[in-house]
Structure formats: structure tokens, C-alpha cells
A and B are shown apart, each in its own frame.
Chain A
């Protein structure tokens, strides 16, 4: 089974609201979008981040721009105003997701 890393087929940007981290995962092509839409599920994202994401994960498709919006709760150690992480707003978290490997079939 062949695999591909998300960094090779998508771009990402993340932001925060309170303890919620949002990742916009944008496919580099239509074909890649169909793949990430199928494979990047909420369960898989939750598992990938392990104890960094303590709450639930929701994934919303944006067919108009070939992107997924991934909403991760309890993901910023309490949120930027009270957490202990150096990146309280979690901007680099989107790039961590790009390490994920998914199956191409």
C-alpha cells in the first residue's frame, strides 16, 4: 500500500479561539482534495495529535476551495492567555499535521 505525506499534497494554516485550535488544510490539487477528504478524518487527526489534543475533533469540507477545516477542542493547553506552551496560539500546529501519512488508495 503506497502512502503520501500531507506536506507533499497540501498546505495548512492554523489559528486559535480560546482552547480551540483550527487548522485549514488546503489541497494542492483537486485530486489531492478528494484524497484528504476521504482520509483525514476526525478520528485520525485526534489519534495523530495524541495528548496534545484532549477534546473532540471535527472536520468540515470546503468544496469551494478544496480545503478541510479541522476544529480541535482542548488543544492549546487551556488557551493562549493561560497555557504554558511557547506558541500559545498554536500557529505551528498546522505544520505538525503535515507530517501525517495517508494511504493513496
Chain B
């Protein structure tokens, strides 16, 4: 029976390269997939493209290809990832230039375009597509029209399959859904199509894709249950999924000392941000996460059976990014004696300043007591100062949203107005408040699938 092993080696932009290199050297895989995009990341990339139209992709694509392409050629695996972000064509050009420099003649770079429909919104609205906001129900897209940074659809594996058919060695997409980077290779290898009798098998591919899509989050990273027991957490290795043509899988990892795979490490990721587990909606199909059976099948091996799925939805999920003001954060620490009382005084000073200064009109503001409620919010009560008289230290974190950059910058510069009143004043000499950040909000909506035709641009290194 045919089995195809896919490794997964990045959970986000900022993830580390070395586990991928280790997998390339030590494991037998046919594909290596990566996920670099989240909602925050897409906003950052659109912001990057706004500043410079030649950017907007994940810059790591160059050093990662530099390390992995020669290994991929030697060991015989292909790369599939969404690191094209908001500019897959520019990303593809960067990889082609690198491959030329490395002398990888004949290398085929498959670039997938079509997920970005920023310049077609008006045309689509004229046809009667409304783009209602899924969170709020609002249909008044004109309200954000002048502030739009970009619009993209979460696309499936259709064009990944096409790129592989055309012989791509590395497939570079934009907002390919996380699991599509694995579903594509499996559908291509097994000859599955978007019709009966394949929906259960595509459901299995989506389920497996979901389990490994955050890389080490299913090999002992981000654990609630076993975080104390994971071997060599600092040297964690990435997951590999061996799916067979019957739709049954083994989840395992690079054979190396770091990390762990068992039913707990897999289960913790199976439940991760899935909404209704019976209907995990992806562009390639709908997986049902209430049917899979997990069992330990040897050291660092979990067998997954009874996975299932349903036909893919007629609509694709869309994110429309738009500018929504500026965010400024500041932090200050206060020491014993009266640490908490000082922090409370600082909050008082802050609010008085804002009340009396016409130059400041925050749209919203969040004040957290670091060490008490910054992470768990209103679930935790901040004590009265008299109840913690000997508290060694406490921090105050303030984050405010402003309409203009000038206002946010003024708020940052005049920070000593609310902090500089006590002799134990912590003059932070290593980390000044960072510059204001532009907020790009997301308008989540749906678009009919047929409105988002994707295609492959194949670039061969001569």
C-alpha cells in the first residue's frame, strides 16, 4: 500500500530553521511543508507591501531555501509552503535568484497566485457580492474602503496539485490554508479528486494536516499536560505524518532525542482552534474531528484511524485587512515598599493626564497589573495594596489605541508624566517604549469559490 510521508517544519513566521535541516538529513520524507501565516502575520505582510510593493512575503524564504534546497535535491523531497504571503510572485523571484546563485540548474519554482483579490473588490461588489462581516453582520464595506490594506481568500490545494503535476520542486503560495500545504501533495500522490468517493480520504488528509500544521506543537511544544516531561525541549524536533492511500496515518517525528509524540501530544493539537469539531471547514473539504481514533503505536508513533470528511464548501473564507488607527504600549515597574500602591498611583496619574490633556483622546485603553492580571484578566482579582504589604515588585502595562500616529507618538514621549514620581523609579535603560504600531484590522467574510480562480506560474532556473 502506498504511503507518503510529509514533514512539517514551521508553525509561524519566526519559527526556527534547524529542526527542518535536521529532518532533511535524518528522516525519509517525500515532502516538507511549512505554515508561516496567521491573521497577524498577513496584516504585517500587507503593511510591508504598502511600504514597498516589491516586499510583502516572508523574508525567511531566502535563507531557508539556501539551507534546504541542496538537501531537498540530494535526499529527494519537495517543499510546499505559504511563505509568499501578500506577494508570492516576488517571493518566487527571490527563490529563483537564490537558486541561480547556488547553481541549481533545472530547479522548478511553482508560484501560486489568485488568492489576493484586493484590486477586484469593486468589480465583485458590482456583481452583487456583499462581503458581510461574519463577526458583526455589517455590510457597509464603504466605511473601510479607503483604509483597505488588502483582501485575500484562504485557498485550498487545487493549485498545489497543479504545480506538482508540472514538476515543481518548491511550491510557493500566498494565503494557502495551513493544511493545504499537506493536502495538496497527498491528493496528487494518491490521485484523489474533489468528488466521491474521496471526501473521507480528503477529510483524513485535512485532519492529518491540522495535527502537524503547527509543527512542534504536536511533538511536545506548547504542552499543558506533559510540559515537564518532554525530552530536550530546547532541541525539539518536528513532526512527520505518514498517510496511506486508505486514509490511515502514523504521526511521528524526526528520529532524534528532542521532543515526544504520543496520544497526548497529538490530542492537544487536535483540539487547537477548530471551532465546531464536527465541521472543521477548510477550502479542500470539511473534516469531522469527532470520529478519529488515536492509539500509541510504538516509541514516538501514534496511529490515527477512522478519520472522515464531507464535501468542500461552496464559499471560501476571506480576510480583508484595513487600517484602524495606531497602537502604543508602555510598561513601568514599581518596587517595594508599597509596590502595588505605587502602581495604582501611576494608573491614577495616567488617567488624570489623559482627562486633562486635549491632545490625547484614546479610542480604547487597557491597563494591566503585571504579575497579577495581565494574562488572565478579569478571572483574577488584583488585591488591595494593604493585603500585599510586602510585595517585592509589580509592573503596570498600558496599551492604548489612537486615531493618529502623532497622538500615539506623543503618548509615548510623555510617558514620564505618569511614572516618574517615586525615588525607586525604574529608569529602564535597556528597553524604551517601542514606536507606535499601525493597526490593521480584519473584516472576516466569505466569497463564492468560483470568484477566486488560482493558477500556477512556473519558473524554471536556467
Chain A residues with a Cβ under 8 A of chain B: 11-20, 22, 24-26, 28, 48-52, 58, 60-65, 67, 69, 71, 73-74, 77-82, 84-89, 91-96, 99
Task: Give the residues from 20 to 69 in chain B that come closer than 8 angstroms, CB to CB, to chain A.
Answer: 38-40, 43
Interface string of B279-309 (1 = CB under 8 A from A): 0000000000111111000000000000000
Contact A84 B224 (CB under 8 A): no
Contact B39 A18 (CB under 8 A): yes
Contact B290 A26 (CB under 8 A): no
Q: Chain B residues near A91 (CB, 8 Å)?
A: 222
Q: Chain A residues near B376 (CB, 8 Å)?
A: 92-93, 95-96, 99
Inter-chain CA distance A85–B291, complex, in Å, is 36
Flag whether B5 is at the interface (Cβ < 8 A): no
Contact A60 B378 (CB under 8 A): no
Report if A17-B290 is in contact (Cβ < 8 Å); known contacts: A84-B327, A84-B399, A84-B400: no
Q: Chain B residues near A77 (CB, 8 Å)?
A: 366
Inter-chain CA distance A20–B379, complex, in Å, is 18
Report if A11-B225 is in contact (Cβ < 8 Å); known contacts: A79-B442, A82-B324, A86-B399: yes
Report if A86-B397 is in contact (Cβ < 8 Å); known contacts: A11-B225, A18-B39: yes
Inter-chain CA distance A91–B238, complex, in Å, is 21
Q: Chain B residues near A64 (CB, 8 Å)?
A: 289-293
Given A26, A67, A86, which contacts B368 in the complex, CB threshold below 8 Å? Answer: A86
Q: Chain A residues near B264 (CB, 8 Å)?
A: 11
CB nearest to A77 among chain B residues: B366
Given A11, A50, A71, A92, which contacts B275 in the complex, CB threshold below 8 Å? Answer: A71
Report if A86-B40 is in contact (Cβ < 8 Å); known contacts: A24-B268, A78-B441: no
CB nearest to A23 among chain B residues: B271
Q: Chain B residues near A65 (CB, 8 Å)?
A: 267, 270-271, 292, 294
Flag whether B337 is at the interface (Cβ < 8 A): no
Q: Chain A residues near B273 (CB, 8 Å)?
A: 14-17, 22
Contact B276 A18 (CB under 8 A): no
Q: Chain B residues near A50 (CB, 8 Å)?
A: 378-379
CB distance from A96 to the nearest CB of B (A): 4
Besides A12-B224, A14-B273, 11 other A-B contacts (C-beta < 8 A): A16-B39, A24-B270, A26-B225, A50-B379, A67-B271, A82-B441, A84-B401, A87-B374, A95-B376, A96-B379, A99-B379
Interface string of B418-462 (1 = CB under 8 A from A): 000000000000000000000111101000000000000000000
CB nearest to B134 among chain A residues: A18
Number of A-B contacts (CB under 8 A): 145
Q: Chain A residues near B439 (CB, 8 Å)?
A: 81-82
**Which among B134, B224, B293 has the highest number of chain A CB atoms within 10 Å?**
B224
Q: List 7 A-B contacts (CB under 8 A).
A: A11-B268, A17-B39, A49-B377, A71-B276, A82-B441, A84-B401, A89-B38
CB distance from A25 to the nearest CB of B (A): 8
Report if A60-B441 is in contact (Cβ < 8 Å); known contacts: A65-B267, A67-B267, A84-B401: no
Inter-chain CA distance A17–B273, complex, in Å, is 7
Chain B residues with a Cβ under 8 A of chain A: 38-40, 43, 134-135, 222, 224-225, 264, 267-278, 289-294, 321, 324, 327, 329, 364-366, 368, 374-380, 397, 399-401, 439-442, 444
CB nearest to B321 among chain A residues: A81
Inter-chain CA distance A81–B42, complex, in Å, is 9
Q: Chain B residues near A69 (CB, 8 Å)?
A: 271, 274-277
CB distance from B62 to the nearest CB of A (A): 26
CB distance from A56 to the nearest CB of B (A): 12
Given A67, A84, A94, which contacts B365 in the complex, CB threshold below 8 Å? Answer: A84
Inter-chain CA distance A49–B329, complex, in Å, is 24
Contact B135 A24 (CB under 8 A): no
CB distance from B303 to the nearest CB of A (A): 14
Inter-chain CA distance A17–B269, complex, in Å, is 15
CB nearest to B379 among chain A residues: A96
Given B269, B275, B289, B321, which contacts A13 in the complex, CB threshold below 8 Å? Answer: B269
CB nearest to B401 among chain A residues: A84
Please name the 6 residue pairs, one residue from A and one from B, whose CB atoms are nearest each other, closest first: A24-B271, A15-B273, A84-B366, A84-B399, A96-B376, A11-B224
Inter-chain CA distance A77–B267, complex, in Å, is 28
Contact A22 B39 (CB under 8 A): no
Contact B364 A52 (CB under 8 A): no
Contact B378 A26 (CB under 8 A): no
CB nearest to B374 among chain A residues: A86
Contact B274 A22 (CB under 8 A): yes
Q: Chain B residues near A82 (CB, 8 Å)?
A: 324, 327, 401, 439-442
Inter-chain CA distance A28–B381, complex, in Å, is 28
CB distance from B107 to the nearest CB of A (A): 35
Inter-chain CA distance A28–B225, complex, in Å, is 9
CB nearest to B272 among chain A residues: A15
